[in-house]
Structure 1
């Protein structure tokens, strides 16, 4: 059974409680497999992954010193995946000048048969607030696929400013940054922890 330790929680005025817990690569593998192989997760680049591939990938992340993965909950039910990483060590090494306090971030909303209006925006807001709950986090760095216009709009809504495209081995990415102050100005929230 996966851990139920809640690391961060916030209440959205319209959609209820969102929280974040550690990911268990074994207990959560089947759940994640359904998410990352869903057609809506094409930019996650795991469409053809087997259950064993997913378990292996998240076991690798769990063991990595500079990469973490979390399960996000909505009203207590798994609803999104969140990853953080040190961009001076992974993903963006040599592609930009990393600063102390930079945190790389990825998120994936679980597929849903009954989408809720504003849900994905509430998820990214929760993810960002959870990152900024760590006082050492000063700026969030993202590198979504340049073609992923939906996520660019979401990023902008929570305070990200696009800097420039960067070429990564797996994609052409849009390097974007969001400082703590930009997030607070865009959302009215701070990263205050539970």
Structure 2
């Protein structure tokens, strides 16, 4: 579980337990066999509609050969074409990756131009765009290793940050932390926070309901988690944390209609961070024990956003 506050602890990369369930075979709805004599009489008295007879009428050719009527032939041809399309779609789907379970009627893979972005689990954080805050325009830009690793590494090696994030060390350790998210399925998106165009913060926007954090609190579907690190010393102690957290939490609620709550879990010892979340309209929900820390569970509710 990644760290979660303005100076929060580092944790493990998000994982999801998966399992396979087999649907129970439905009970047969066919009743006991009825009296054979009664069935035979009903069948003998059955008269087929004229349309049904015409569908399967046989034509006799000049040479005496017999073939299906035009309507039946068209129906059979369409059925064969549908079966061929289904088979082709199934082959494409199976070729998408090893271990993929394919349904008989699997749809064709979408064209490359419509393939979902890797961060679709969060609704496309890269497209959230800049937002106006009392401190200026803030833009969350997904991390690019070659561009952002040096500055993130410098921030993580600040002694004031190390105590809570635990990512101090050579660049390769921090790079591994970033790549574990960038190479994932989009449930966590690391971002640089640009205030008026200047990099000054590091963010992680993640699906809390799909994160190991969900094992430690009563998670709800689409809960969105937020981690924040204010990078430069000159930007700390000015109230920026609360201002930016409120703006980003509201942005997440605006961009993710299915999300009813934004959550965070700063280290309970990190009083300035807890205070920043309270200033941002989060409420203190509980103390929870996580693998690397005792945390304050902070929640910003959609229903209370205009009251707190």
Into which bin does the TM-score normalised by the smaller protein fall? Answer: 0.7 to 0.9
Q: Which has the higher contact order (CA 8 A, sep 6+)?
A: 2
Taking a change above 3 Å as real, the CA distance of residues 174 and 114 of structure 1, as seen in their structure-2 partners, is: closer
CA RMSD of aligned residues (A): 2.0
Structure 2 unaligned regions, length at least 5: 1-125
Which residue number corresponds to residue 222 of structure 2? 101
**Distance in 2 of aligned mates of 1:24 and 1:136:** 28
Q: 1:6-54, CA deviations, whole angstroms, 9 ceiling, x for partnerless residues?
A: 63322234x32211111112321111001111122131121x3211111
**Distance in 1 of aligned mates of 2:305 and 2:153:** 31
Q: 1:49-77, CA deviations, whole angstroms, 9 ceiling, x for partnerless residues?
A: 21111111101111122211111111101
Structure 1 unaligned regions, length at least 5: 187-194
Question: Does residue 151 of structure 1 match 2:250?
Answer: no
Which residue number corresponds to residue 62 of structure 1? 182
Contact kept? 1:8, 1:130, Cα under 8 Å? no
Q: Which one of the candidate residues 153, 160, 174 is aligned to 2:282?
A: 160
Matches within 5 A, 1:169-184: 169-184=291-306
How far off is 1:103 after superposition?
A: 0.8
The SS at the match of 2:278 is: helix
How far off is 1:93 after superposition?
A: 3.0
Matches within 5 A, 1:12-51: 12-13=133-134, 15-41=135-161, 42-46=163-167, 48-51=168-171
Give the alignment's TM-score, normalised by structure 1. Answer: 0.83
**Distance in 2 of aligned mates of 1:120 and 1:35:** 16
Matches within 5 A, 1:93-132: 93-113=214-234, 117-132=238-253
Taking a change above 3 Å as real, the CA distance of residues 114 and 68 of structure 1, as seen in their structure-2 partners, is: closer
Runs of 4+ in 1 over 6 A off after TM superposition: none
Taking a change above 3 Å as real, the CA distance of residues 49 and 26 of structure 1, as seen in their structure-2 partners, is: same
Which residue number corresponds to residue 71 of structure 1? 192
How far off is 1:79 after superposition?
A: 0.9
Q: Considering fraction of residues, name the structure with more strand.
A: 1
Q: Considering fraction of residues, name the structure with more helix.
A: 2
Give the alignment's TM-score, normalised by structure 2. Answer: 0.54
